[in-house]
Amino acid sequence: MAHVVTEKCNGCKFTDCVEVCPVTCFYELDNQVVIHPDECIDCTACVEVCPVHAIYAEGDLPPEFTKDTEFNATQAQQIKDSGGEPITARKEPLPGALERKKALGY
């Protein structure tokens, strides 16, 4: 069972998670990152470092984020199939990420 990046990441794109991941399962979209479910080893390292608590184990996913499971799988596979590489190094968050973090209550 893979971990899932929820829509809470959208508009923030903090990438602390990619630095602690022991495998390369994160892929980058314009506004967030996603996890490839076949590459995730469920180590939970990414969960604690996400500043907006956007990452959940699939089994612990709150109901309002159920759609994000398919979104992660589809988007990560599309990036991989098009020759895109996983993101492995931390980048600066998106402009406005700190405001979004505050709006999410963190």
Q: Are 14 and 28 in contact (CB under 8 A)?
A: no
DSSP string of 25-71, one letter each residue: -EEE-SS-EEE-TTT-----HHHHH-TT--EEEGGG--GGGTHHHHH
In the CATH scheme, what is the code of domain 3-88? 3.30.70.20
Distance of alpha carbon 59 from the chain centroid = 16
Write the pLDDT tens digit of every residue in 33-79.
999 999 999 999 999 999 999 999 999 999 999 999 999 999 999 99
Write the pLDDT tens digit of every residue in 19-33.
999 999 999 999 999
Q: What angle do CA 21, 48, 68 make, to 5 degrees?
A: 75
Backbone φ and ψ of 17, nearest 5°: -60, -40
